[in-house]
Structure 1
């Protein structure tokens, strides 16, 4: 049983001032011609009533219903039916497939009408005996094996709902829903702002619903979506003229394009469904040049062309279907009452959809559908298997298989309407879609595409231009997701793709470039020896150490002079040694921090400064005790002799060594990367480890300095021509001022400047000590040697 839409029934809805011929061909009684004249507009209700009346009239016979209006016959659909007969005859002549079993067939014209298709489906369901027609003979058939139907979606769906409960399988050869592939095609070319139209039928509405769902997943926005049917008023069709994606039946699309052809056609990039994009009858609309769409892969059926052309006059005269085709193709009349055709008509010279076999697409699907049924019957009868979904065979080099849903593997060709040298539109295969391949390989383009109006540049269809890298999309309020603003990425974040929906932060050790489209390693900052600031501080550090060594040399050279001997030369040399270490310890703060340098810089600084302050404190105590010892009967100096002075320095220094040791053992300083001070760069610095240890070191130094300062203030007015207590007071005043200033500066200075402030504090306090304590003495020794006498030192004036 084969239902087909041979007649262009939509033309019945237009005013026709001719006769309508209803031909009923009964297999048992021969053809019956009923002529109904009319001069008014035909309506669907009228024609359906007429059809059912005649069907009831001949309800006891088996017939082929062919409702034909005098407009024309669809030669392409006739080719489909002849391909089915060709396949059946091949199978019947085969010795391997269905040996000993012959297939019969009936061909019924549904007239593109659901009621006619449903009536025949009901007839099958009611158990009508079926006949097999071959060589003008009829033979009874044991059972209805399967149904091949239909080129239209709505009739096929209606038939399946009727025959489904009776377990009669139906193989549909031309209903393809490839919405996912169509959405991926649109997305591939970056078209995110499109319009759509569809046929107001099951094919169009269901197909468009699937496409819109797939398009939404791909981020495609539809500006408008309209549906229409070929019988809609012209004004309805005109409202949907400016579109891109057309999921329509061939007949509906023809009406639309004919309407567009009446006026200057708009420049559109058409994306078409397989129903019309591969229909050779549509290629006459050359303003659709550049149209794209997926179609059934073209193929070759050996022997089919010869079979199509091999129609004898007897066959033509015996079949109303072939008679109608012959008369329409050669524009002549052929009947028992009149014969205008003179016999010179030659199918081989005919340019028609019937004879066009260079791109067999749907025809091959009909051919494979018949073979699928044959293989299914063979599996049941010969191999005792069931279910057509388990079929897997190859015919003429084309594999056929079905999934669990009974659908074949989705393999489509991407076709493009291109003009040839003569200016005619032809179908050119430019790519393919194969659902069986991996996701990245499903869609492939292997040939140049011609775009609308024959352009070489791909058209652009977007609501908003693409957002470049470095920006991200922000949806416009109240508009679809394809309409957005491009906003630069926030600080510290990038987007490295076009149309990024969001920005993402760089890794912790990276920072965006100026364009904010890539992450680059953050510059690492520390007080490098190559920097000018570091070089200056290092120069002062070395200079201070040299100054201390030079001062020690002067004192050693004049060690026998009264001024050197009067200033406790042993503590003086120890103080100069500690000052040298203080100057040099600042060098450990320069350069990239390491584990050892971090521990060394803080511990060396703390110990050397305590050693220095201990020596100054020892000198201050000696000055105070010396004047106390001048009182009659006083023996204080015996408790502050050189051994006691050395012990005092050792004890004070040991306490600092103990603090540093505990600090280094429990939670020592360590190198770390500081990401918080600056977002765009890394500060390489020494973490304190234990803040308590750091502030304990500084606090102990401050405590000794304050104690020394208080004693020096008490001794500043003691009667002496060269009052060393006064200079100790000045030195401690400078020392305390420097370190009191250092604390807030240290806390607030960012990055490498923290280290610079600490070095500056070390150098400033060290220079303050050496200048206040030793500069006056060196000036007298070197420049005023006459004052370097015991008499002058003892002179109270």
Structure 2
């Protein structure tokens, strides 16, 4: 330039200087332009925009200072959503979603909280989640705990009754040793429910799976052995039958051990492949995160339950085939109904378990354990307890043989 000023170009254009003027209507109805500020892009940062507010005169009809945008700023907790087909200064303020926050004004996007955190009600701060699990202080946990203890004590009372009357025909029928094993396994199965209540740790998680699978399988195997005993006993009275050689308590014990060994392989195979461990479930969209025992491999859990149901179905089929044998000696009708209850509980367990979340999944599992065990205890042993305690006159060999003359002298007793 001829006057010595430096001139720079930006994007092919010269940075201009703009005057900010105030249009004032004078009393004589004329307009007067008064410069109140300026904008110079080439000026140093912080001095580009200058304005003298004392020189500005507003029309008396203006009640407030006009805004240069059509929307107010979005406060923290909200994000800006631009309006379609309108200027960029026009937008809506939308509250951040749960689990997300905005900690500054006019934020375009919300920030997602960490897995162990959750947003507060105002959506402007991430706070730590509270740990939730089925505890002994929870009303649901207390109820399940009380039920488990009461049922286990009731089972021990039944066991004591059988031991006291161990030499009576009704107890000796259908292998009393199997009855003892079944009652002990039912007692342990009720107490196993206590492992699922309280804060999970690595020890309880391992014992949950082992106790759940092995103890229940011993119970079902005992029922299966009793069912086979019923069928063999009545087939052994036929002339020329070779079934008598199977009428031994050792054969029943072998059957229980063999069926239980299959569940042991499944459980320990799952432990070595993918052991259970305590885990926080942060998938729930809430301020709570559930601490539960991750079974490692879900397939191991379903195979273990499926194996128990398989044994129960076999026992149900055999008991159903033997249901028309003389009822005085025969437990088949009671076993049939008990297996029907057992299978119904565990088949309905899967949709109920998969449709719940958090600590209620554990509660559903405990309820299935208690309900299925109660079904076995009620259907198999209560009819015998009724005869032992209320109708002792029926607890005689002559009464049990009844009028079935063709079965006379055949007591289903395995010594």
1:744 pairs with 2:351:
yes
- Would you say the 8 A contact 2:21–2:36 is kept in 1? no
Q: What is residue 304 of structure 1 aligned with on the other side?
A: none
From 211, 221, 232, the equivalent of 1:604 is 211
Please point out which of 29, 38, 47 is paired with 1:246.
Answer: 38
Alpha-carbon distance, 1:640 to partner: 3.0
Matches within 5 A, 1:344-423: none
Matched, 1:159 2:17: no
Once the two structures are TM-superposed, the CA of residue 717 in structure 1 deviates from its matched residue by 0.8
The correspondence of residues 663-702 of structure 1 with structure 2, limited to 5 A, is 663-678=270-285, 680-702=287-309
Within the alignment, does 1:551 sit opposite 2:158 as a pair? yes
Conserved? CA contact 1:470–1:515, under 8 Å: yes
Following the alignment from structure 2 to structure 1, what is the Cα–Cα distance between the partners of residues 266 and 369?
A: 19
Query: Displacement of 1:678 after TM fit?
Result: 3.6
- How many Å separate the matches in 2 of 1:718 and 1:239? 117
Closer, same or farther in 2 for the Cα pair 1:681/1:629, shift >3 Å? same
CA drift of 1:796 comes to 3.0
Distance 1:644 1:469 in 2: 75
Larger RCO of the pair (alpha carbons < 8 Å, separation 6+): 2
Determine which structure has more spread, i.e. the larger CA radius of gyration.
Answer: 1
What is the 5 A alignment of 1:100-249? 158-160=2-4, 206-208=16-18, 238=31, 240-241=33-34, 245-246=37-38
**Does the aligned pair in 2 maintain the 1:720–1:794 contact within 8 Å?**
no
Indicate which of 776, 782, 796 corresponds to 2:389.
782
Paired residues of 1:509 and 1:682 also in contact (CA < 8 A): yes
Alpha-carbon distance, 1:783 to partner = 0.9
**C-alpha deviations, 1:374-433, integer Å up to 9, x for none?**
xxxxxxxxxxxxxxxxxxxxxxxxxxxxxxxxxxxxxxxxxxxxxxxxxxxxxxxxxxxx
**Structure 1 range deviating more: 662-671 or 684-693:** 684-693
- Counterpart for residue 140 of structure 2: 533
Aligned partner of residue 159 in structure 1, secondary structure: coil
Q: Does the 8 Å CA contact 2:73/2:105 hold for their aligned counterparts?
A: yes
Q: Which residue of 2 aligns with 1:616?
A: 223
What is the aligned partner in structure 2 of residue 660 from structure 1?
A: 267
The residue that corresponds to 1:731 in the other structure is 338
Change (3 A) 1:648 1:465: same
Distance change >3 Å, CA 272–CA 758, structure 1 → 2: closer
Q: Deviations over 1:58-92 (max 9, x none)?
A: xxxxxxxxxxxxxxxxxxxxxxxxxxxxxxxxxxx
CA RMSD of aligned residues (A): 2.9
Cα–Cα, structure 1 residues 558 and 477, in superposed 2: closer, same or farther, change >3 Å?
closer
- Secondary structure of 1:766 counterpart: helix
Q: Secondary structure at the match of 2:323?
A: coil
Q: Aligned partners of 2:397 and 2:276: how far apart in 1?
A: 51
1:470 aligns with 2:77: yes
Is the counterpart of residue 588 in structure 1 residue 195 in structure 2?
yes
Structure 1: gaps spanning 5 or more residues: 1-156, 165-201, 209-224, 229-236, 249-270, 278-286, 292-451, 453-458
Residue aligning to 1:561: 168
Distance 1:245 1:501, change over 3 A: farther
Task: Tell me if the contact between 2:17 and 2:38 (Cα under 8 Å) persists in the aligned partners.
Answer: no
What is the CA distance between 1:597 and its match in structure 2?
1.8
Could you list the runs of 5+ residues in structure 2 that have no partner in the other structure? 7-13, 23-29, 41-48, 59-64, 405-415
The verdict on how the C-alpha distance between 1:570 and 1:288 changes in structure 2, with shifts beyond 3 A counting, is: closer
State yes or no: 1:646 paired with 2:412.
no
Match of 2:54?
288
Q: Secondary structure at the match of 1:246?
A: strand
Please, which of 103, 120, 138 is the counterpart of residue 496 of structure 1? Answer: 103
> 1:485 offset after TM fit, Å?
2.9
CA displacement, residues 165-220 of structure 1 (integer Å, 9 cap, x when unaligned): xxxxxxxxxxxxxxxxxxxxxxxxxxxxxxxxxxxxx9xx7444xxxxxxxxxxxx
Offset of residue 480 of structure 1:
5.5
3-state SS of paired residue (2:2): helix
CA distance in 2, matches of 1:703, 1:477: 62
**1:630 and 2:248 matched:** no
SS of residue paired to 1:683:
strand
Deviation at 1:731, TM superposition (A): 0.7
Give the alignment's TM-score, normalised by structure 2.
0.82
Once the two structures are TM-superposed, the CA of residue 557 in structure 1 deviates from its matched residue by 0.8
Whole-angstrom CA distance in 2 between matches of 1:765 and 1:702: 11
1:421 aligns with none
- SS of equivalent to 1:723: coil
CA contact (8 A) 2:206 2:277 kept: yes
Alignment correspondent of 2:62:
none
* 1:514 shift after superposition: 1.6
